[in-house]
Structure formats: C-alpha cells, structure tokens
Structure 1
C-alpha cells in the first residue's frame, strides 16, 4: 500500500503519487482470418475452435507490419485519447514476445516513431502476462517520481512464430497492439493503480515455449504448447495473484466493476471468474474477435470496453494474465 509522502520544506504529509490511466489506444491489422479460413488450411472446423476456445476470428499482420509498427499506432491512439504528444512522455515500456529485432528494443523504435526524444524506453518479456508486468513496472517509476508520464504498450505479431501446420496452436493466436498512458498524480481522488501482484515459476517452461532463440538454436523457432497442462494451471494456480491484489487494496470481488483478463480461452476466463466469485456479467471478452494476442490482449480489451462506454471514471477494473514460463500477475486499477 502507498504511504504518505513528507514535504521536506513544510514538514507536512502530502498524498502519495498515483499512476492514473489518462488514455487508451489500440491497433489491429486489416487482414481478418476466420475459423472457416483456417479450416481450408488445417484439419479443423469453426465448431471445434469455438467450442474449445470461444475464438471466431483473428487479425494477421501484413508484410511490413512489424510489432513496432502496430505498437506505435496503438500508442499514438492512446496519446490522442489523452490529449498529449510524444513530448509529454518520459517512459515507454513495450511488453512483447515478438520484437522486431533481437536488439535494439522494440520500445525504442516506437519511441522514435512517436518523436519522443527524452526518457527511457525498454522492452519487457513476460509473454502473455507482459502487459500486467508492464503496468506494475511503470507504476513503480511513476509513484517514486522517477517518471511523470508513461506509455505502456502490449504489441505482438505471433503469426510469425506459429507453426501453421500445427492445428492445436495456429488456430489460437492473432496479431495486434494496445496501449495506455499512465500519469503520476498526487490529486488522483482515489483513481489509479491500487495494487499489483506478480509471480513466475520457470520450472514449467516445457508447457508453453518457443523452440528457438539467438542464444540456443540461432533461429526464431515456433510456439509449442501443452494445452491441457496450461488450462489446468491457469484455472487452478494463478488465482493467488488476484486474491493478493484484492487484499493489498482492501477490496473484494464484490467491489469489482470489470474483470479484464488475458484473452486466451473463453473457458479459462469463465472458470477462473467462477472460482473467484466474479460474476460473469462483469467479464470483458474480446477473444472471439481477436484470438489470443498475448501481451496485447488486455490493452486491446481495455480500449474496446472504454470506447464502447462500459468502463467509466470511478470503475474498479481488475487485469490478470498468465504467460509462458510460467509468469502470471494481476493488478487493480480505479479508472
């Protein structure tokens, strides 16, 4: 929990800084691939995919649409929504597992595209949980006064690490990007990031990973997943971070307005909500339209729900995700 700061000049206690969401944005490639399209390519069907995942379509990046291109478009939309420009940003964090290059960081390419000439920019790798880790990391910069405004971006082009002959994985993922602008405020009126809880356990690497990399095979590799094991872990184990985030903030599931989880699988999302006592009508679902966009899925869903009027000022929003490794986390935000 945040503690009150002391004004050194006047020896008085002043409110703590809070990281407040002041803008959201998203970007989806134009190309839409439906389940029926995939059924022409691999042995699957629309019924099979919808029944097991809830996914009906996904967006696929065109040649030249790199992760930084999608990320920059989403970030620009978030800046426009906040009424800000690149000159107002002094921290850029890009959560991604599909960077443009081994280095430099994709965040630096987004920074350059937006004309940001100050502050720091770096990538964060926690796979599908990357955006939650990014929000928690940015919050630490902002609430300690190390930065004033941050762009937190989730951007992915997973289509480029898929084995398009593997029907168990290629039907699940899509490309896209989402972003939020966080601003440090000492007059937040209860708004902002209230709490976060993060976990990792590298013993589970073989359950969800990419079988390549510059330091191992010298290749990009393809995504590999043990779907049943991931499902069991996602439903059975990762609720600890949600419980902890509620406890840190002194709140419960009854206080929640919206649950915005990682959009991987509708059955996982609903089973997790049921286990935690979160009413299904509080769930924001976009997995049917976007598929699993990894680190981009939560900011994409946030932008959808804010722009269609569901998420409003004062709402209590929980974000939550699990990614390969495993890494998982949750954060509570008062909008």
Structure 2
C-alpha cells in the first residue's frame, strides 16, 4: 500500500501586482544607505534573476486561512468526498493569519482549526493541526499524511499549504518583490494500484544554515526596529540549494527503483527561476544527462513565490492544463521537491 493524491485545489488571489508597481518604493541597502542606481535598474535586475514579472496579493478582507479554505473546498470537490470523512487536516504555513496593516501573527486557534470550522466539519475525530517547516511545508505535510495512512491511523487527509507573505515584507528591501500570496490543497488517501508515492526524502540542516532565512528589522532606520519582517541571505540560500536539493532528489529517485529517464516532470518550489534552473541542471548532471525539454513547469513568472503554496498550486495548474506547453498523463512519474527556512529540504517521487 502507498498513498496518492485524489483531489487537488488551489486559490490564486485576484489582486495582481506588476514589477512596475514597485517603481516608487524607496529601496535601501542593509545598512540603510540608498542604492547607487534608480529603481528601474533594480527592477530590471530583479526580473532577470528571479523571472518574476508579477505576483498575486490577497484581498484586504482575506487572510491565509481564508485562502486555504477556498483551496480546500476545491480539493474536496475534486476528490468527490464528504469532508466529514477526513481524519486529519494538516495546514503548512509560516506566519499564521496576518491582517493588512500589521505583521502580527494570529495563530490561535490554529489555522487548520479555522479551516475545519469554515468547512463546517462536525466530526471531532478529524484532527486539525499546523506545521511550520518553511517553504517545504506542504511536501512535509504530505509525508506526515503518508505516515498516518501507512500506520493505520488515518484513511484520508487534507494537506494544505497557504501563505500571505505580502503582509510580512519590508517595503525597503528589494527582496520584498519576490514574495506573494496563495493557497494549494490536496486530499491524500491510500492507493493499492500502481499510482502514488514511491519514495521520499526529508532533512533539516540547522548548524550554520539555521539563520539563512529569519525575521529581522526594516532596512529603513526610521522604522521601529522591534517590528520584524522576512529576511534572507540570498547568496547563501542559493549555494545551499544547489548543494543539497539535487542530492536529495537523486537519493529519492534512486530509492524509488526508477531511473532518471523515467521522470516526466519535476515540480520544484517556485523560489527563483535562475536557482530552480540551476538545481535541475545540477540534478541531471549527477546522472550525466542533459535536462529534457519541458521537464520543469513554472508558475513563478505570473504568481511569484508564495512559499508553501507554490508546489500544490503548480500541481493543480498542471493537471488542469493551465500551464502553457505543459501536460501530464496517467502513469507519468513526477518528482516534487522543495527547499526553505530551516534550512529544510524534502522531495518525493510520485506516479500520477
């Protein structure tokens, strides 16, 4: 027995924010000094590195749990199940519900509990809880669902990844242009046929790497230093990802019993176009192979980096034929992979 994804849903916020919308931002260096070049140059360099042209932000009346509820409704409908039959709701996020105009996190009750409430599930044996695992949170939630189902503790789980990163960014930090909002949800059940999860890998690197992503003060010295925003050491993350993600993917694929030529798609966390491309090239290089055409669907150009939501949202878009020049077929082998705060790395091989 193994697990498979029987339902998928996503919610992509309607508010579109283009790169040009950051033209009036006062971007500063870490020490508070201004850049030596205009925003036009900053935005141009940003586009060339990340591939991001626009991103989506939640509406003012929406928080992460609202986006998650909408994605979950779609996943439940897609699976054709009664929500009362869910044994677990596993909600991966990083910052809780953050209302506009404040970056204070609200996580009581848990966001998973809020989604259960919004879904009007009355069954008390449907256990709802949150996990904090950085951007790889949704994949880790799937791995936890796998453990519950294979151990006999559950038959059916709802695994969600949702975030509103636009609420925790420093407007004076050019990295703020990376982040976006969104939600993806999946129904996970047991599989007795050839489809489903074949192998997985998960790891936390917490020595020198623990602080690569962190909560820090604004680059503007006039802003209250006690108010914190998402910050990162981009170069260190890039180097970490290139060293560790391909290796984790290779170990995962080797453990599945399949070969590199069996892989039809790689769904990787939409963090940075150049970084994702470098990871895939490094992965194929481990097998002495060139990267096949159309192996890596991308959504970051239009949707930005929505953290835990990127991978399930990408999967939903792919299976619904919403990504140009990309399609998936029954029996295709997919590698799901992610990297993020922790530093955490995980992956699983899946037969669709």
Question: Is TM-score (shorter-chain normalized) higher than 0.5?
Answer: yes
Structure 1: state its 5+ residue gaps: 1-16, 213-218
Q: How does 1:116-155 map to 2 (within 5 A)?
A: 116-118=121-123, 119-155=126-162
Q: Which residue of the other structure, out of 198, 215, 231, is the alignment partner of 1:194?
A: 198
Measured in 2, the distance between the counterparts of 1:317 and 1:271 equals: 18
Counterpart position of 2:103: none
Counterpart position of 1:29: 13
Counterpart position of 1:325: 342
Asked whether the 8 Å contact 1:273–1:280 carries over to 2, the reply is: no
Q: CA deviation at 1:328?
A: 0.9
Measured in 2, the distance between the counterparts of 1:55 and 1:76 equals: 28
Measured in 2, the distance between the counterparts of 1:233 and 1:280 equals: 25
Counterpart position of 1:316: 333
Measured in 2, the distance between the counterparts of 1:106 and 1:36 equals: 33
Q: How does 1:298-309 map to 2 (within 5 A)?
A: 298-308=311-321
Q: CA deviation at 1:280?
A: 4.6
Asked whether the 8 Å contact 1:161–1:220 carries over to 2, the reply is: no
Q: Which residue of the other structure, out of 45, 48, 62, is the alignment partner of 2:45?
A: 48
Measured in 1, the distance between the counterparts of 2:166 and 2:129 equals: 23
User: Residue 232 in 1 paired to residue 245 in 2?
Assistant: no
Q: CA deviation at 1:107?
A: 0.8
Distance 1:54 1:42, change over 3 A: farther
Asked whether the 8 Å contact 2:184–2:313 carries over to 1, the reply is: yes
Q: CA deviation at 1:195?
A: 1.1
Q: How does 1:245-264 map to 2 (within 5 A)?
A: 245-264=252-271
Larger deviation: 246-255 or 282-291? 246-255
Q: How does 1:46-195 map to 2 (within 5 A)?
A: 46-100=43-97, 101-118=106-123, 119-167=126-174, 169-185=175-191, 187=192, 189-195=193-199
RMSD between aligned residues? 1.8
- The runs of 4+ residues in structure 1 deviating greater than 6 Å are none
Distance 1:255 1:91, change over 3 A: same
Asked whether the 8 Å contact 1:305–1:311 carries over to 2, the reply is: yes
Structure 2: state its 5+ residue gaps: 28-38, 98-105, 218-225, 285-290
1:178 partner SS: strand
Larger deviation: 275-284 or 128-137? 275-284
CA deviation string 1:278-302 (max 9, x = no partner): 4252101001011111000000100
